[in-house]
A = this chain, B = another copy of it.
Amino acid sequence: MENVNLSVKVAGVSFKNPIIAASGTFGFGDEYNELYNVGCLGGISSKGLTLHGKDGNEGIRVWETASGMMNSVGLQNPGVEHFIQEGIAQMRRFGNVLIANMGGHSMDDYITGASMLSNADIDMLELNISCPNVKSGGMAFGIKAEVAREVVKEVRKVCAKPLMVKLSPNAENIVDMALACEEAGADALSLVNTFQAMAIDIHKRKPVFNNVYAGLSGAAIKPIALRMVHSVCKNVKVPVVGMGGIYTAEDVLEFIMAGAQAVQIGTVNFNNPLAGRIILDDLVRLCVKEGIADINEIRGVCL
């Protein structure tokens, strides 16, 4: 069993295994660490940060859907400063790769936040470009490749840390988006974030969410996420971290065979709070069964 090599490298950073807890689903790791040693995971991507912190959205924030869920948390977070002062030390206890996930509503926020985090003790910056861009009328940075290119280029200038850009599946063209981010200097790409979706409360005759639309995640989206990861991997040279509906070790192999360097797990943590640990154990067993001595062997076999 111990002979399976699960360690992977993403943008020069070594992960002891390819399982990373996805941003926003795992807090800063401490809650899940009450249930199992979250240090066993390859890494943790922090709750999405914004420069000044946010209270998040009002009203219903989570809603179950067929094989998935929608959320409209709205990036509630304590802000970059607070994260640097308290969150980092807390996450460092786990001994695995520390990824700071950061979003923003304006170019300035992105630049200031990224330069602060670049000087802090993080292993990697994951840039979430799905947030609505206040200046361009609420259209997300993650929709148009040209808008994304600008923000990545600017952030790259101030960021000395490995920079991973997290793509939105709502992008007009996911491959163009990936290429633009790569060209603008991203060291790695992660995808997918949640799909813009809607639910209606037919009794109240109103949208469930105050913001009308919210983000869909979970097993429901896996087939689309896998397709996007596959088509991005076919087109870029930088490493890709895949996610979207990964629930099992089999799912992990699918994403790696589609070309992903590593994966993130989000919604499954809510279905089973020990999911990270279980998927990891199952992955070792599955590799043994499938005759995979090194997880890196099978990467991209379906490209």
Chain B binder among A65-73, A114-122, A160-168: A65-73
Q: B205 near A302 (CB under 8 angstroms)?
A: yes
Q: Does A149 contact B (CB under 8 A)?
A: no
A198-227 CB mask vs B (1 if < 8 Å, else 0) is 111011011100001100101111111011
Q: A203 near B290 (CB under 8 angstroms)?
A: yes
Q: Does A257 contact B (CB under 8 A)?
A: yes
Q: A197 near B226 (CB under 8 angstroms)?
A: yes
Query: Closest CB-CB distance, A246 to chain B, in whole Å?
Result: 11
Q: A206 near B68 (CB under 8 angstroms)?
A: no
Q: A224 near B197 (CB under 8 angstroms)?
A: yes
Given the interface pairs A200-B257, A254-B200, the reply to whether A219 lies near B302 with Cβ below 8 Å is no
When distances are taken between beta carbons in the complex, the residues of chain B under 8 Å from A220 are 66-68, 219-221, 223
Q: B223 near A197 (CB under 8 angstroms)?
A: yes
When distances are taken between beta carbons in the complex, the residues of chain B under 8 Å from A213 are 227
When distances are taken between beta carbons in the complex, the residues of chain B under 8 Å from A258 are 198, 200
Given the interface pairs A203-B290, A253-B202, the reply to whether A67 lies near B67 with Cβ below 8 Å is yes
**Stoichiometry (number of copies):** 2
When distances are taken between beta carbons in the complex, the residues of chain B under 8 Å from A87 are none
A78-120 CB mask vs B (1 if < 8 Å, else 0) is 0000000000000000000000000000000000000000000
Pick from B198, B227, B230: contact of A227, CB below 8 A.
B198
With an 8 Å Cβ cutoff, the count of chain A residues facing the other chain is 41
When distances are taken between beta carbons in the complex, the residues of chain B under 8 Å from A212 are 230, 302
Taken together as a complex, chains A and B put the C-alpha atoms of A290 and B203 apart, in Å, by 7
Given the interface pairs A202-B290, A205-B301, A302-B205, the reply to whether A196 lies near B224 with Cβ below 8 Å is yes
Query: Closest CB-CB distance, A285 to chain B, in whole Å?
Result: 13
Taken together as a complex, chains A and B put the C-alpha atoms of A221 and B169 apart, in Å, by 14
Given the interface pairs A200-B258, A258-B198, the reply to whether A216 lies near B224 with Cβ below 8 Å is yes
Given the interface pairs A227-B197, A290-B203, the reply to whether A222 lies near B302 with Cβ below 8 Å is no
Q: B68 near A202 (CB under 8 angstroms)?
A: no
Q: A198 near B230 (CB under 8 angstroms)?
A: yes
Most interface-central of A203, A254, A298, A302 (chain B CB within 10 A): A302
Q: A302 near B206 (CB under 8 angstroms)?
A: yes
Taken together as a complex, chains A and B put the C-alpha atoms of A172 and B173 apart, in Å, by 6
When distances are taken between beta carbons in the complex, the residues of chain B under 8 Å from A206 are 301-302
Q: Which residue of B lies closest to A247 (CB)?
A: B66
Most interface-central of A197, A199, A219, A253 (chain B CB within 10 A): A197
Query: Closest CB-CB distance, A220 to chain B, in whole Å?
Result: 4
Q: A222 near B253 (CB under 8 angstroms)?
A: no
User: Please, could you name 20 A-B residue pairs with CB atoms under 8 Å apart, sorted by A?
Assistant: A65-B222, A67-B219, A172-B172, A196-B224, A198-B258, A199-B226, A200-B226, A200-B253, A200-B257, A200-B302, A202-B257, A202-B290, A205-B298, A205-B301, A206-B301, A213-B227, A216-B223, A220-B220, A220-B221, A220-B223
